[in-house]
Structure 1
């Protein structure tokens, strides 16, 4: 069994603060919003934004005993900045990073400090921000674990990294081409093109890649000694169903979205400023 599978958290056996939010009602609400991902993204991302801010805030408080107020939250693959308002309400400075200019302006949103750049080569110095997150992005990049390493690189010692991605063999792995992705990504893309007369937004092999739950667990197991894995759990499941992440095979079908929460072990922490992210 992988080290990261043995528990959802490694801090003295403590249950993450976020676990109290992981109810069946929350799961049903979030899963129900998925049908709006393509037709009304604001509805879909509005619910996910609230949930993401809660998740990050809870884990940051577990880690530091502090709220998000005054922190810098770097969102890798943040698109047009759907999460900006929620993190702003929590008192954080939110900085989205997005490589695609059309995605940056997709919703007509403007977020001060938005950065165009690749998650696989983040345009920030080492130890730049207190919090670095990525939500449902890793399956859209060809080298997701390089992106994860970059996220850790720019996170300060004692800071928080939250890496959440859609599992390929889960029900939402094919995005708009599902459930036909179970017969292969190329087949699903061709079928979508025949049915709709256009390419899917998420094109397998170009902007959509097969990332497994086991890949995230393996990455968590193999992180360097100065990285502590705080939690690994299925994002949209109620707390009583988090055990599925520990079962090979079954987790690929049922996890849907895997979250890996990590921190760099603190050596000497300074006071964070907004200029640290420049």
Structure 2
């Protein structure tokens, strides 16, 4: 389940991509499939071990084209171990809501992106997230949990003030918003609740089969209750001189 639209950002052979806060690796895997030079970056060593294993399996199965590369790197998003202007594409999906010093993290994302490169940042959308917080403290008030709820305009301003040019935003995963509302209402860890189980089964069926009825429903509902918002930016090739 991808939150970033790869067709919008031109990921392909020879493109240098860093997926900051890669988690289980879903966006790193897609970039690798498309032939990019991928860095899957995260602070969670066990998670990165799983991502590394999947990279190896993908290579063995021929799922990545010749010339593609992928590796995992453990580190801190507040101090990326790369020089300025290193990457063509920087992805930060569903991580900034976890980071207390979010503006410092954003500055690092911008710093390592080359002029002309693209940055994609995704976070939970304000309304679906606000409902989750209202229904359950357990949903967010835990170690490593969400520390803030963004309005898209607020996040856009935080990135744009570093000289980035905003391109577009999209809302995605509308069918997942009701699932999390149900989970928050019945207990986040209560996976055996009949309603939660039934809705999860629906989501799995949708992801595996992608039937037209659910794909159409989600496309229509995304602008209203999309669980996540994705913001796309370009780093200008020529920075304006300071006045």
Q: TM-score range by the shorter chain?
A: 0.5 to 0.7
Runs of 4+ in 1 over 4 A off after TM superposition: 237-244
Show the counterpart of 1:145. Answer: 103
1:59-70 to structure 2, matched below 5 A, reads 59-61=8-10, 68-70=12-14
CA drift of 1:107 comes to 6.0
Contact 2:173–2:222, Cα closer than 8 Å, also in 1? no
1:60-209 to structure 2, matched below 5 A, reads 60-61=9-10, 68-106=12-50, 109=53, 111=55, 112-167=70-125, 169-170=127-128, 173=129, 179=132, 181-185=133-137, 188=138, 204-209=141-146
* Inter-partner Cα distance in structure 2 for 1:158 and 1:167: 27
Q: Does 1:257 align with 2:201?
A: no
CA drift of 1:241 comes to 5.4
Show the counterpart of 1:14. Answer: none
Q: Deviations over 1:21-46 (max 9, x none)?
A: xxxxxxxxxxxxxxxxxxxxxxxxxx
CA drift of 1:239 comes to 5.7
* Inter-partner Cα distance in structure 1 for 2:8 and 2:107: 20
Q: Deviations over 1:204-248 (max 9, x none)?
A: 25211243241x31231352373100112212355655655xxxx
Show the counterpart of 1:5. Answer: none
Question: What is the aligned residue count?
Answer: 181
Q: Does 1:219 align with 2:163?
A: no
* Inter-partner Cα distance in structure 2 for 1:232 and 1:103: 29
TM-score normalised by structure 2 residue count? 0.63
Could you tell me which runs of 5 or more consecutive residues in structure 2 were left unpaired when the two chains were aligned.
56-69, 175-217
CA shift in 2, pair 1:71/1:86, >3 Å: same
Contact 1:213–1:255, Cα closer than 8 Å, also in 2? no
Contact 1:159–1:264, Cα closer than 8 Å, also in 2? yes
* Inter-partner Cα distance in structure 2 for 1:182 and 1:128: 41
Instruction: Calculate the aligned-residue CA RMSD, in Å.
Output: 3.0
Could you tell me which runs of 5 or more consecutive residues in structure 1 were left unpaired when the two chains were aligned.
1-46, 62-66, 190-202, 245-253, 269-278
